[in-house]
Structures are given as structure tokens and as C-alpha cells.
Amino acid sequence: MSFKRKFISVVTLALTTVAFTTFVVAQDTNKQDDSMQQQKKFERRGGKRGFGRKGMRGGKHDGDDRMLMRSLGQLNLLDAQKEQTRGIFENFKTSTETRREEMRGLAMKKRDGIITTEESARFKEIRTQLKTSGEQMRNSVLAILTAEQRTQLDQIKEEMNKKRMERRQNRQNQQSPTVQDN
């Protein structure tokens, strides 16, 4: 093999190695970027993760609050009503924040199976307090609405519940295995 061919082979091998290394480093950077994006997304949510239906999103009652807010968006509220409801929701959020944080910690202990009886009692107490606060908040919002808006809100809730029941039924039908005769 001539010197010229050896030289071309070495240069080609070197270029191939550099290209491959660049590709590998670029792949590692993308993984780091993805984890950074996930971390930023987590921080934007206030460092909170949802734990499912019965988890720390508040379960049923927080879902009712979100449903109420979503339903209010479908009503033709006056600007004054929008401002009042926004104030009620913000006041509720700030007044219950410490209790929700404490409940979140207790729920994690409960999930991990390391909750004491005193903590379990405190968990139930906080849940009752939050339920009462949520009911007061909902009553305050409903007091702002006119009779027509309340009727419209009830219809929206009925439609949402109907859709939820249909989804649940469809999910159960999909999950139940078909019985085959042997």
C-alpha cells in the first residue's frame, strides 16, 4: 500500500471519528435539554406533581372547584362578576395554601405507609376543613350569579357529569375482558 493511500485512509478514519463523536455528544446534549425542560416545567407548576384521582390534587373537591371555574367560563358573566369570582378564588387559594401543603405531606406519608395515627387524624381534620372552605367558596360564587346563570350552570354540570359517566362506562367496557366459551 502506498503512502498516499495510507494517508487518505488515516484522514478518512479521523474525519469519521470526529463526525461520530460529534453525533454522540449532540445526542447527550439533547437528553440534558429534555431533562432541563422537564425541570423548568415542574418549577412553573410550583414544584407540584399530580398524584392521580385520589392524590394530592385534592381529589373530588378540588375537581369540583376546577369544574366550577371551567363552567363559569361558559357563562356570560359581567366584568364585575368576573372580578368578584376571581377575587373569591384567589382568596380561597391563599387562605387554604398552608393546609393544602400540610395535607400534601401527610398524603405522601399515607401513600408510603408511614403515617402515624395522630397524623392520620390530622389528615382527616384538614380534609374536613378544606371541604368546608370549598363549600363556602362555592356558595360565595353562587351568590354572585343571577338565577338564570345558576340554571345555566346546573345544565352545564349535568352535561359534564353525563359525559364523565359515558367515559367511565366506555373505559369499563374496554377494560373488561371478553368472556370466551371453552
pLDDT per residue as tens, the chain (182 positions): 688 888 888 889 888 888 888 877 776 555 556 666 766 666 666 555 544 444 444 444 455 667 777 888 888 889 999 999 999 999 999 999 999 999 999 999 999 999 999 999 999 999 999 999 999 999 999 999 999 999 999 999 899 999 999 999 999 998 876 555 54
pTM metric for this prediction: 0.56
- H helices within the chain, ranges in order? 3-44, 59-74, 79-112, 117-144, 147-175
Contact of 140 with 68, CB cutoff 8 Å: no
Can you give the residue ranges of every domain in the chain? 59-161
How far are the Cα atoms of 51, 134, 136, 137, 169 from residue 100, in angstroms, in the given order? 14, 12, 16, 15, 32
Q: What is the pLDDT of residue 177?
A: 64
- Kindly report the number of other CB atoms within 10 A of residue 30's CB atom: 10
